[in-house]
Amino acid sequence: MKVLVTGAKGQLGFDVIKRLKAEDMECIGADIDDFNIIDEAQTVDYISNYSPDIVIHCAAYTAVDKAEQEQDKCYNINVLGTRNVSIACKKNKCKMVYISTDYVFDGTGEKPFEVTDKPDPINYYGYTKYLGEREVIDLIEKYYIIRISWVFGINGNNFVKTMLNLAKTKSEISVVSDQIGSPTSTYDLSILIVEMIKQNQYGIFHATNEGFCSWYDFACEIFKQANIKIKVNPISSEGYKTLAKRPRNSRLSKTSIEKYNKLPNWKISVSKFINKLVL
C-alpha cells in the first residue's frame, strides 16, 4: 500500500509518518512547501505524480480563536483545501482519510456524541471542519472520517506543553472545569489510523483516548505526572473569555472503533508523553 500524508509537519501527520515507516509501508509526507492544498491544480498534480492508494489528510487550520477573525483563511484551508484533496483522490481512484473534530457538535447534554448524531457547530473552526466532512462524503466513495479531540503530540504545540511552560513562570493558574471531553495522543491515534487503513471498513469514526475529563482535570494530571507543585484553580467557561465558543460537552462515543484496539486511557498516555518530553 502506497500512502500520502498531508500536513506532515503537524502533530498528527508527524506521528502517522513515523508509524507508517515503522511498519515498512511505502509513504511520503507532504506539507505547504511541497504543494498548496488551496490550489487545485497543484494538489491534483502532486497527488497524481505520487499516485498513492490512500491519502491521509491531516493538513488543517486549527487555530480555533484566530479562526473567528481569519475566516477566509480558515475556510480556504479546511473547506477548499479538503475539496481539492478530495478531487485529486477521486481522479486517482484512491481512498481518503479525513481528520475531523469534536467541534462539529454543539456540546449540549452530557451523553457522548455518536457518529450518527447531527453536527451543529458553534464556532467557525468547527463549521469549516464539518463542511470539509461534507466535501469528502460528496466526492469520495471510499473514505474514513475520523473525529478526534484535545490533541497532544511531540511535534507541535498543545495543551500539555502549554501547561508545562506556564509552570516555569507561575505558581498558580486557572483552568476551565466545565468543558468535558477526552485528550487524544497522536502517537496512539497514529497506530489506530494505520490499523484502520489496512481494512476496508469505511465511514465516520470517533477516535480518542479512553476516559473523560475536564480541562482542569487534564491540567492537574499533567502536573501530577510531571511532579510539579502548582496551584490549579477551576473556573467556568464564563470566567475564561475566548473569541470562539467551546462546546461544554465534547464527549465522543467510541462504539464506532470497537472492532479495533482501543486507545489507552488518557492518563496513561499523558504519563508516557511527559516521560518522552523529559528524556
> What pLDDT was estimated at residue 278?
72
CB 142 within 8 A of CB 252: no
Residue 17's contacts (CB-CB under 8 Å, 6 or more residues apart) are 5, 8, 27, 29
239 part of a folded domain:
no
What is the CATH classification number for the domain harbouring 38? Answer: 3.40.50.720
Percentages (nearest 5) of helix, strand, coil residues in the chain? 40, 20, 40
User: Could you tell me whether strands 172-176 and 95-101 are parallel, antiparallel, or unpaired per DSSP bridges?
Assistant: unpaired
Q: What is the pLDDT of residue 75?
A: 98
Q: Which of 60, 253, 270, 66 is nearest to 159 (CA)?
A: 270
Distances (CA, A) of 190 to 11, 21, 165: 10, 11, 26
In a domain, 98, yes or no: yes
Residue 222 lies in a domain: no
Active site (annotated) includes residue 125: yes
Question: If you write DSSP's letter for every residue of 81-105 in order, what string do you get?
Answer: HHHHHHHHHHHTT-EEEEEEEGGGS
| Nearest residue to 32 (alpha-carbon basis) of 56, 16, 10 | 10
Task: Identify whether 122 is part of a domain.
Answer: yes
Q: Is 274 part of any domain?
A: no
Looking at residue 239, its pLDDT comes to 94
Which residues are within 8 A (CB) of 195 and not within 5 positions of it... i.e. 6 or more apart?
260, 261
Identify whether 9 is part of a domain.
Answer: yes
Quick check: is 173 in a domain? no
228-272 confidence digits (pLDDT tens): 999 999 999 999 999 999 999 999 999 999 999 899 999 999 999
DSSP 200-218: ---EEEE---BS-EEHHHH
Residue 180's SS3 state is strand
Q: What is the predicted pLDDT for the residue at 270?
A: 98
Owning domain of residue 43: 2-158+183-210+251-264
Contact between 25 and 42 (Cβ < 8 Å): no
Q: Phi/psi class of residue 38: alpha, beta or left (left: φ > 0; alpha: ψ in -120 to 50)?
A: alpha
Q: Does 215 fall in a domain?
A: no
Q: How many domains does one find in the chain?
A: 1
The pLDDT tens digits of the residues spanning 6-43 come to: 999 999 999 999 999 999 999 999 999 999 999 999 99
pTM for the whole thing? Answer: 0.96
Among 125, 143, 144, 216, the active-site one is 125
* Tens place of pLDDT per residue across the chain (279 aa): 999 999 999 999 999 999 999 999 999 999 999 999 999 999 999 999 999 999 999 999 999 999 999 999 999 999 999 999 999 999 999 999 999 999 999 999 999 999 999 999 999 999 999 999 999 999 999 999 999 999 999 999 999 999 999 999 999 999 999 999 999 999 999 999 999 999 989 999 999 999 999 999 999 999 999 999 999 999 999 999 999 999 999 999 999 999 998 999 999 999 999 999 875
Q: Which of 149, 126, 120 is nearest to 250 (CA)?
A: 149
